[in-house]
Amino acid sequence: MDLKRLFNKGKKMVDDRGGVDSLKEDAQELAGIAKGKGSLTDKAKDAAAAVKEPGANEPDPQERHPNRQATEDRHASADRQESKERRHP
């Protein structure tokens, strides 16, 4: 198992969702849904809808991610590294 590649993919996914702060907001939103009233089915539907949008209903992802260029550079670097690892295992 290539842990570095797995780590890079996880990091890229977090960045794509808006960073760590966005994930914290998502977790708080999901906790609120879980603690709320309603049936388990309703809670599952609400949680699925909440997970589709990163962050706590913020309209502009650019505002959450002021340093977009650095994130894109990290993604490109991770992609290059993954490609290099595939060519030379």
Full domain range(s) for residue 45:
20-63
Residues in contact with 9: Cβ distance below 8 Å, sequence separation at least 6, in sequence order: 78, 82
pLDDT score at 87: 74
Say if residue 30 is in the same domain as residue 51. Answer: yes
How many structural domains does the chain have?
Answer: 2
Tell me: the pLDDT tens digits for 11-23?
Answer: 888 888 888 888 8
**Residue-wise pLDDT tens digits, 29-82:** 889 989 988 888 888 988 888 888 776 544 454 455 556 667 777 778 877 777
Cα dihedral 63/66/68/71 (nearest 10) = -120
State whether 28 and 54 are in the same domain.
yes
User: Do 54 and 71 have their domain in common?
Assistant: no
More confident residue, 55 or 7: 7
Report the predicted TM-score, pTM, of the whole model to 2 decimal places.
0.51
27 and 48 belong to one structural domain:
yes
What was the pLDDT predicted at 58? 47
**59 and 79 together in one domain:** no
Q: Identify whether residues 52 and 70 lie together within a single domain.
A: no
Answer yes or no: do 69 and 59 share one domain.
Answer: no
